[in-house]
Structures are given as structure tokens and as C-alpha cells.
Amino acid sequence: MVANTNFTKAKAAKNDEFYTQYADIEREINAYLEYDANVFRGKTVFLPCDDPEWSNFTLYFAQNFDRLGLRKLISTSYAPRSKADLFDYVPSGIEQESDRFDAEKTLTRGKIFVITDDRNLDGKIDLKDLTWDYLEGDGDFRSEEVTRLRDEADVIITNPPFSLFRDYMAWIMDGGKQFVVIANKNCITYKEIFPLIRNNQMWSGNGFRAGNAYFRTPHDATSYSQGVFDETTGLVKFRNVDWFTNIEHGRRHQPLQLMSMADNLKFNKKLKGKDAFDRYEHYDAIDVPFTDAIPNDYDGAMGVPISFLDKYCPEQFEILNANDFRTSDAVRAKPHGLIKDKDGTVVGDPKPRYARILIRSIR
């Protein structure tokens, strides 16, 4: 919950500038490659909403161009002057040293970087084979110009601006391509996103190491709640951010090892002193407070924490619904969801305290 507050704070500050770590990109892409070594072979990979001169996405795909067997790599940036927060922007060396450099365009235009072949004839295709130019517009992913690049691509990968995530996913789904994206985990309860999850058009990726997502930021500690920004590394840490994709990976097909309802009540330490398996008031389902407490012998609908999706195996469970308690069709739970004051007196409307996903075992 702490991380959540930090995230909301950062969002409220219109802070869309979080840069992804190389090791996190490598780890995520490796999970797709382990499942299918040829997943990117012969494909055009497009990295929108990037800052290619500094981005680890561009660096990773450029340096692994040959190994992945890419056909083409395209990455685009957003004009500094269009960004919500124009921090101390300095054009990169690549740009400043080029004949094409333009002091006005560098601020008002997006840029496009492309790799297709071994231009410098050094026997390998990598970052040194990159060509660049200014875009006609500012590089907004919603522009016609960038949408054309989306349509040309086979796979679209980025960490998009968090404040435009709904628009970004609508744009991605409209393109109908493969994608990998970083997002706030709560996005799965958004009414625009949940149907994609339920219909298996989008699922959790392999994930950040131990669930900790570290990003580089141009801001300092004063922009974040205590403990989020690390002065030594210059990184911010979020625990409520994850990878999402429609590309297969192995973890998605590993079923959870679970106990029966009776064994959970007897042996699952987390359930001690907790209300477990209560029936909701307005929905025919039981509440399961922890993913590892999902009973393997219950045939009806179960409300599970949204973190379940990290462990979701489509051969094991079917996703039925989501109860985002911030929407009007909230599923109310009793008694764990009642809001009580310090003396235990029930106050206000009964609402579930946590977002839940409703699932059912596949038999």
C-alpha cells in the first residue's frame, strides 16, 4: 500500500519520466526467448515513447539485433517541449555532432532511430548501425506518423507514460500487434483493461525480480515519499508496477500447487485469525484473501487478490469478473469488507477493502 501512495503521488506530479533498467529488460525478454527462441526472428520491433539515445530498450534491442534475428528496429522519442516536465534537457552527442542537428527541432520534434543492416560494415549489426532523423511531429504515440510505425511493426515494446496508459493500450489493441508493456498493476481492474485480461488478450509478463521495479528518474528525493528514492543509486523503487504482454512465456503455464479448503483452514498460517472463504453479499462467490490459500477442491466462483494474476495459469483457472471497489458494480463482501472504526463499530457502506478478481477452477 505504501508503494501505491508513492505511485499516485508521482502520477499526480505528472511525472512520466521513469527510465527502465537494462537488466530488467533483459530478464523479461529472456523469458519470452526461453519459451520460443525465435519469437523475434524476422520481425520489426518498434519502441515508441522512448528516448533512444539514453534508453536501455533501444540499447538492448540494438545490441541483440543479430542474436534475436530482427528484421528492423525502430524507436521514437517525444519532443522535450511536449513533455509534462521539461527537466534539464541537453541534446545527445549523436544529435549535436550530426549535420542534421537543428537547435529548434531538437526541442519541438520527436526523433526516429532505425537499424536495419550492417551500415558500417564491421561484421555485426548493433547500435553503431543506427540512423536517425527528426519526425514531422512531436512523436506523440497517438499521432498519425507514429501510428504508421506501429502498423509497420510486428512487436511494440515500451514503458509508456503512466498517465496515458489507458490511451496507450487502446492504441496498442487497435494495432492488433504483439506487445510488451510496463504498467501499474492496478491497471488490471480498469474497465478498459480487465476485459483484455479476462479474454486472454493480455497477461502478466515474467515480472521484475522479487516484484521490485527500479527506475532511473531525472527528479530527486524531494519528489517522492520517504524510502522510494535511493540517493546512492539515483533510482526509484515501485512494488506495484509490472510487465504485461500478449507474448507467451513459460511461467504462465505453471499451475499453482494448492491445498484443499479444509487443509488451508488447518495448515495455512496466513489464514490464522483471518476471515477466509466468506461468501460475498451480492455475488455468488467466496472470498480468498491470499493466492496461496485458493482451495483446490472448490468448484464455484472465488474472489482472489489481484496479485493472483502473476500466478495465473489459463489451463488451471478461468477468469470470470473483477470487482474494482471503485466502480459502481462493486462486489460487497461480508464480514471482512465492512469498514469498522477503532472500537469495531461498523461505519459507512460495507465495501470490500481490497480489489478482487473472480475466478473458477477448470476441471
The residues that touch ligand SAM, with contacts defined as CB under 6 A, are 16-20, 49-51, 55, 57, 78, 83, 139-141, 158-161, 164
**C-beta of residue 312 within 8 angstroms of C-beta of residue 252:** yes
CB nearer to ligand SAM: pick between 61 and 312: 61
How far apart are the C-alpha atoms of 105 and 82, rounded to whole Å? Answer: 12
Closest distance between ligand SAM and the C-beta of residue 55, in Å?
Answer: 5
Query: Which of 224, 244, 243, 242 lies closest to 234, judged by CA?
Result: 224
**C-beta of residue 152 within 8 angstroms of C-beta of residue 176:** no
CB nearer to ligand SAM: pick between 83 and 336: 83
CB nearer to ligand SAM: pick between 139 and 350: 139
CB nearer to ligand SAM: pick between 18 and 190: 18
For 100, phi then psi, to 5°, come to -80, -10
How far apart are the C-alpha atoms of 79 and 108, rounded to whole Å? Answer: 5
CB nearer to ligand SAM: pick between 10 and 276: 10
Q: Is 42 left (phi over 0), alpha (psi -120 to 50) or beta?
A: left
- Edge to edge, what strands does the sheet with 19-20 contain? 19-20, 213-216, 235-238, 229-230
CB nearer to ligand SAM: pick between 106 and 158: 158
Closest distance between ligand SAM and the C-beta of residue 160, in Å?
Answer: 6
Closest distance between ligand SAM and the C-beta of residue 216, in Å?
Answer: 8
Closest distance between ligand SAM and the C-beta of residue 65, in Å?
Answer: 18
CB nearer to ligand SAM: pick between 235 and 259: 235
CB nearer to ligand SAM: pick between 7 and 317: 7
Closest distance between ligand SAM and the C-beta of residue 299, in Å?
Answer: 42
Closest distance between ligand SAM and the C-beta of residue 39, in Å?
Answer: 20
How far apart are the C-alpha atoms of 358 and 287, rounded to whole Å? Answer: 9
Which amino acid is residue 98, in one-letter code? S
Closest distance between ligand SAM and the C-beta of residue 9, in Å?
Answer: 16
Closest distance between ligand SAM and the C-beta of residue 152, in Å?
Answer: 17
Closest distance between ligand SAM and the C-beta of residue 316, in Å?
Answer: 32
How far apart are the C-alpha atoms of 175 and 318, rounded to whole Å? Answer: 26
Q: Is the peptide bond preceding residue 335 cis, with omega within 30 degrees of 0?
A: yes
Q: Is 277 left (phi over 0), alpha (psi -120 to 50) or beta?
A: left
How far apart are the C-alpha atoms of 84 and 140, rounded to whole Å? Answer: 12
Write out the three cell numbers for 19. 527510465
Other beta carbons within 10 Å of 300: 11
Query: CA distances (Å), 91 to each of 19, 111, 205, in order?
Result: 17, 11, 33
CB nearer to ligand SAM: pick between 49 and 288: 49
